[in-house]
Amino acid sequence: MRRLAHVVVVALALAAVAVATQTATGGPLTVVAGGVWLVWYATCAILLPRLAHAAFRGGRTAQARRRYRLLALISPAARDGARVSRAGCHLIERNWDRAQRELLAIDGEQLSAVLHAAWLNNRAYAIARGGRADAEDALGLVEVALTTRPGVPGFLHTRGLALLAAGRLDDAIRAFEAVWDAGELDPSLEAERCHDLALAWERKGHHDYAADYRRRAVRADPSSRWARDAQQEHEAHAADLAALEAQIAS
């Protein structure tokens, strides 16, 4: 019902714009209406999605969220995808609870197969990163997403995160290594993968492996927040080690 109401509201708004434009210009209503529809279609199908995705990829999440919100408002067809992407902005901002709330407000059963997989993956990512107790739920969600889109590097990485959150360190390490095997990775994802591998190895007590992966995270994408985290963690562990060595020496 809400979807139908949205379509009706947008159609009425376009009709009102067409009538107002025809009154102002005096042109034939059919021609004016066609022009209004063409501008609306180009904005919804090409211009606004590209602008929103560009802001998303550039890390300008506040700007991306505004554009996705506008896209969801003016385009019933793009509404669900825009809402999932807007929640993705909250994931980048590490606002796990806000992202989860927005994702749960979406009716997953109404999504296309590809969009449904992304919705499941983002929910799993929010749970795993948020440190919630239901890590096994996160694993179940991402496993379903992978049945629809097997081999997607981001989904495979989320699977590793869910395993890490569940304390299954060896399985998590294998899952993170499988991300690398999936093909060439975006530098930001590679930085995040190395950061998380460092965390897994650190929890296993292999500090040298952890230090190596932190250095690899920084090399992969120095501008990434995960790379900066890895650098800070590396410096903190180095300082702790130096303090311990000084204590032993004394």
Statement: residue 241 has pLDDT above 60: no
Question: What does the mean pLDDT of the chain come to?
Answer: 89
Euclidean distance between CA atoms 43 and 50, whole angstroms:
10
Statement: residue 115 has pLDDT above 80: yes
pLDDT at 244: 44
**211 vs 27, which has greater pLDDT?**
211
Phi/psi at 69 (nearest 5 deg)?
A: -65, -45
Statement: residue 3 has pLDDT above 80: no
Percent of the chain with pLDDT over 70: 93
Q: Which residues contact 233 (CB under 8 A, 6 or more apart)?
A: 198, 214
Judge residue 213's burial from the number of C-beta atoms within 10 Å of its C-beta, 0-12 exposed, 13-18 middle, 19 or more buried: buried
pLDDT at 164: 95
pLDDT tens digits for range 72-110: 999 998 999 999 999 999 999 999 999 999 999 999 988
Whole-structure pTM value: 0.85
pLDDT at 192: 95
Name residue, tokens 């901002």. Answer: 93
**32 vs 69, which has greater pLDDT?**
69
pLDDT at 131: 76
Minimum mean pLDDT range among 186-195, 218-227, 238-247: 238-247
Euclidean distance between CA atoms 209 and 142, whole angstroms:
27
pLDDT at 144: 96
Statement: residue 61 has pLDDT above 60: yes
Query: Could you tell me the pLDDT band of residue 239, with boundaries at 50, 70 and 90?
Result: low
Residue 24: how many other CB atoms lie within 10 Å? 9
Q: Alpha helices of the chain — where are they, by DSSP H?
A: 2-25, 29-42, 48-57, 61-74, 79-92, 96-104, 113-129, 135-148, 153-165, 169-181, 187-203, 207-220, 225-249
Q: Please, what is the Cα angle at 88 between 95 and 39, to 5 degrees? A: 135
Statement: residue 161 has pLDDT above 70: yes
